[in-house]
Chain A
Amino acid sequence: MKKCILAILALILTGLLAPSFSQAAVTVTPSSVNVVRGQTNTVVITYRFATIIGSGNEMSSQGIYFTPDTTIGFNNVPLTTFITGGIGTVTETVVIPVNIMEKVLQSGTAQFFYRRQFFGLSVETATINMTVSGETGGTLGIRRLSLYFGNGRSETTVMKYAPDLKAYADIRYNGSGLLKGYWEVDGRLLSYVSQPLPAGQQITLTTPDIPALPTFDTGIHTLRFVVTNPNPDQGIPLPTLVYFVTTDEAAAKPVGLKLKNPAEAAEVPYASQKYEWQVIRANVYLIQFFETQGGKTVFSAYTKKGFYQLPQLVLKKIFQPGETYYWLVIGFDKERRMIGESKTGSFRFSPSVSDAGK
């Protein structure tokens, strides 16, 4: 009788202690996570086995979502790892559907669990605590990453040496924390980003002016924004942009042209004047005259030289003595693309008309 009681006690103790011993044989990372309501959530879970006797497969047929009161749902993807020397590791990416969280909330709690029971060499149980949170709370997580160029699309075509190619990343996130990542072109890190994100839920990042997106290399290029914090394994796939650089070259970035003569705000005789400027690699220049700064052009002319002699015929017809006029010069290349522009200068014709007839 005594032996019988001892045997029953031993059985009860074994039954009570067995799960705790087997739980000690598997550890799970992370042990708890926040998941956001109203969206599917992706969680990467790693199971590490230790102190298991023997070599062979440890298997789990399914994962179970449950609250303390009820079972919520199942993940029917099996999981297998090979144990050798008592240890083994297996990782799974769990996509938690929206309805799991809805069922949890309907049951009157925001806490639930995900559990896998392994069997084979040993019966082991791993459980992860999960908490449903709103979009503002919780740790930083990327919900959506949308990349686009200035045309709003994920693809663009630019000319070789195009100077102003920009890309944008709309990052929709939940929680708050430090965002780390970088722009990457054809596998080359272009610029690094490290900034705290408030609970504003969306930011837009732009590629920098320097270094600019490379356009000296013709052909197709791919561009990504690579997120390194929050942990990219816990997030969504990184999207890719595509841009094509044509073999036809863009105009050189417009440079500043210096106006040389007449000097700024100078008073000049009311006569055929020579207007001079700094010569650049332009095929043709356009000189424009205005009555008011930024106003309508009163006269303009094309020239291939670095100066323009205002004809007497035009002077008398269009310009008045004693009046102030503004002028600027634009340089164009062979394809008539602007490659240089001056600031607007001014001059005043003297009131005297004595020289006008010369």
Chain B
Amino acid sequence: MVKKFSNWFYFVIVVLCFLTPAFAWAEECIIITSPVENTVVIGKRPEIKGVFRCPLTPGSYVVMLDGVDITQLMDVTAEGFTYRPETLVTTGSHSLSVSYTGADNLPHQFAVNFSIRHSEKFGEIYSKNDVSLLYEGALVRKDSTADAAVPVYTEGQNVAPSTTAAYPSSKIEGNLASESRVKEGPWNVSLTTNVRYFDQDIPVTDPLKKGFNVANWLFTGNYEKDRVKMKLSAGDIMINETPYTIAGFSRKGTMFNGEAGPVYANVFSARSAQTYGVDGGIGIGNVNEDHIFGASAGVKLFENKVDVRTIYVTGTDPSASGLPASITPPSTQSNVYGNSTTTGNKQGDVVGFLLTTDFLQNRLRTEMEADFTRYDPDNSDEFEKRSSSAYRAKIGGAVNWFTYDALYEYIGKYYGVIGNPSLAKDRQGFSLQSGINLSDQNLSVMASRYSDNVESDPLFPEIVSTQGNVSYQFNKIPYVPLGFTYQKILQESSKEPVGGTRIDTSTDTYSGRIGFTKGSFSVNFSPSYSIINDKTPADADTTNIVYAAMAAYALPNLSIAPAFTWSKTRNHATNVWTDTFVYNLDFRSRFFHDRISFDTGGTYTASTADNNSVDSGTWNARATLAYRLNDHLKTFVKPTVGLRFSYLKTDDKINVAMNKDEFSLFVVLEAAIPVIF
């Protein structure tokens, strides 16, 4: 009997054990049917579904995805609710929590945990693509300058004569902006690119090309696990090492970055010239011809408070070596892509060392750099590379509202680095900077003194440049910000060689700014006065006065931004004043539920001189009237039809051959096609 009872007892216990969760589950008024607890969901925007098991009123329940209340975004019916996120949900773990007040008037809460993978094979895999298509066809073209003379620049002109606009009768453009990424475990790979198509019925100017072209691309592969990080990049890369070696160098190239705990290393190779499209490949090539190669390594010590780095870069830059020695007559300057520099087949290498410290959380930062180069500005001649060096020591930091920086630098007479062509050379000196940044006032003070001819070459003078700058900003009245800046520059030569010209100039610049801001409206006025005082017998003084005013009024469907600049320059030697007036207007508007937009941007420029050598005015404007069709078509393609206006008129009273009056009207068909998979 006891045994029989005991068997029944165990049976009941076992049944209860099995049924308890079911009862508990069944007791909830809301059941999440998708996703299921502790499952892996394959998808990018997983649907969330719930069922009501008892009557609930709006406001008596809250559904949260990862802690954010999504209740009001759900589609709710009497039976339950559904919700599909409108954007990609990140891969990994997620939590859906439900809180409600049950029939017992007590709060209830439960959560469903799940994780997301984009596919069976890869935790994350997606490709976002945006296609732009554009057709432009001329409806009206009025051109008064079919036989106009070639624009000629004359001495003293503040604005170069405008060229006759070369608008095609028809033009087709397309662009595919693509971003794709695959991630699994510690690995991830991504590719971003813009593939472009361009065609028109007239020739294109450099660097543009007709047909398909890859405007830019970047492939990256990453591995990251524990303290080991590796990254391989190829395509349009940017190399940043140290200020005196290679910094902000953006080219076609390949770069590897590796990091293991406190030790790191970088290796890179790049095309030395800026290239457009696929030209340049992955930037690996001969460093004696047109590529650069470099490597750096370093170690971070004392919890990253100290960083010691060494770097080596070598290469050749022939980008501007193609010009002939002499051109007759001077040809029209061809378009150069991105950078333009003096000619010469430049070649060199550099070894650098950089030590940075930050022991007091940005209160006291130090940088010390020493670099040694061998550089030849033109390796086609008989002169070989020359050795030179550069040194830099910097100390700075920020303590509450006070900032400070002190810098000493020395750059040798022959210093040069392939990949950092803008570096100054043959100068030494120091600069000091400090600032006071209060909530409603800012004051910054800067002083510097530099001299050239660091090796005291007797064939050259020594020129000392001293500069001081004080800038104050007052923001106590939030709607009337104002400030001023005063700058003094002294430049003086000494030890001039026989027959050399003395330099002794002083430049004073005073500038102010005042604004008024209220809501969506703002206006700013900033006058500036500067005088270059040449104290030598040449007495080539110059006065420069600039008045600039700009305003902006922006609403969600309307914005208007006029701007005005009046620039006056006086050449004291000739006592001639030259005036340049620039009026700008930008206007944006949308109406009829955002379906129609009218946008325009235009400039009027006038240039005069009081000796009547210059007197011209130019109107130049473009405007677009567009109608968006996507509300009518209800497809994922967003088409737009529109009209584009272009207007150019030049009235030159001195050189009437430059006069022109052009008007063009184009029909524009365009479409935006987003494709995500």
> What residues of chain A have their CB less than 8 Å away from a CB belonging to chain B?
38-42, 44, 63, 75-79, 90-95, 97-99, 102, 105, 108-111, 131-137, 143-148, 151-155, 157, 161, 170, 172, 176-178, 180, 182, 186-192, 194-196, 198-202, 208-212, 214, 216-220, 222, 226, 228-229, 231-233, 236-242, 244, 246-249, 252-253, 255, 280-281, 284, 286, 297, 299-305, 308-309, 311-314, 316-317, 336, 339
Contacts and interface: CB of A to CB of B under 8 A. Distances in A.
A198 B338 contact: no
B163 A304 contact: no
B567 interface: yes
Nearest to A96: B325
A149 B73 CA distance: 39
Contacts of A228: 153, 157-160
Interface in B285-335: 320, 323-331, 333-335
A147 B339 contact: yes
A290 B60 CA distance: 24
B504 to A, nearest CB: 12
A111 B501 CA distance: 12
A136 B207 contact: no
Dominant SS at the B interface?
strand
Given A97-B381, A188-B622, A218-B670, A196 B489 contact: yes
A59 B310 CA distance: 57
A309 B328 CA distance: 79
Contact of B489 (A152, A198, A229, A302): A198
6 contacts: A77-B326, A97-B378, A110-B497, A219-B173, A240-B206, A311-B62
A299 B67 contact: yes
Interface stretch (B30-38, B119-127, B546-554): B546-554
B659 to A, nearest CB: 16
Contacts of A186: 622
A130 to B, nearest CB: 12
Contact of A98 (B381, B453, B563, B674): B381
The 3 closest A-B pairs by CB, nearest first: A154-B338, A301-B69, A99-B381
Interface in B315-363: 320, 323-331, 333-344
Interface in B575-612: 580, 582, 584, 586, 588, 594, 597, 599-603, 605
A98 B326 contact: no
B584 A190 contact: yes
Contacts of A218: 132, 134, 173, 668, 670
A93 B327 contact: yes
B672 A247 contact: yes
Nearest to B568: A194
Nearest to A80: B328
A180 B580 CA distance: 11
A316 B106 CA distance: 12
B624 A217 contact: yes
Which of A95, A105, A196 gathers most chain B CB within 10 Å?
Answer: A196
Report, as a range, how many residues of chain B touch the other chain.
35 or more
B69 A210 contact: no
Contacts of B173: 218-220, 244
A97 B87 contact: no
A76 B565 CA distance: 47
B41 interface: no
Which of A90, A237, A304 gathers most chain B CB within 10 Å?
Answer: A237
B530 A196 contact: yes
B434 interface: no
Contact of B603 (A44, A77, A189): A189
B44 interface: no
B392 interface: no
B338 to A, nearest CB: 3
Contacts of A92: 326-330
A161 B329 contact: no
Interface stretch (B6-14, B258-266, B456-464): B456-464
B460 A211 contact: no
Interface in B552-573: 552, 554-557, 561, 563, 565, 567, 569
Nearest to B248: A152
Contacts of B343: 40, 42, 95
A281 B590 CA distance: 12
A145 B339 contact: yes
A148 B563 CA distance: 24
B648 interface: yes
B188 interface: no
B241 interface: no
B382 interface: yes
Contacts of B443: none
A248 B131 CA distance: 8
B344 to A, nearest CB: 5
B485 interface: no
Given A212-B586, A301-B72, A137 B503 contact: yes
Contacts of A222: 205, 208
Contacts of B459: 105, 108-110, 132
Nearest to B344: A40
A313 B461 CA distance: 81
Given A93-B328, A189-B159, A247-B670, A135 B340 contact: no
B615 interface: no
B383 interface: yes
Contacts of A212: 561, 586
A353 B501 CA distance: 86
Contacts of B331: 93
A40 B580 contact: no
Interface stretch (B19-27, B364-372, B393-401, B417-425): B417-425
A93 B339 CA distance: 20
Contacts of A244: 132, 173, 175, 194, 196, 215
A321 B638 CA distance: 50
B499 interface: yes
A254 to B, nearest CB: 10
Interface string B263-291: 00000000000101000000000000000
A95 B320 CA distance: 12
A242 B335 CA distance: 11
Given A38-B414, A217-B601, A313-B100, 6 more contacts: A148-B338, A172-B421, A233-B153, A239-B336, A242-B215, A304-B73
A299 B99 CA distance: 14
Given A220-B198, A236-B342, A200 B67 contact: no
Interface in B503-517: 503, 505, 507, 509
Contacts of B339: 144-147, 154, 239
A138 B34 CA distance: 77
A316 B544 contact: no
B382 A99 contact: yes
A201 B427 CA distance: 10
Interface string B33-77: 000000000000000000000000001011000011111110000
A344 B671 CA distance: 39
B328 A79 contact: yes
A304 B83 CA distance: 14
Given A75-B325, A144-B341, A196-B532, A237 B497 contact: no
Contacts of B274: 154
Contact of A110 (B165, B425, B489, B500): B500
Nearest to B520: A255
Given A145-B339, A247-B638, A313-B101, A134 B460 contact: yes
A94 B329 CA distance: 10
Contact of A178 (B157, B450, B569): B569
A201 B451 CA distance: 12
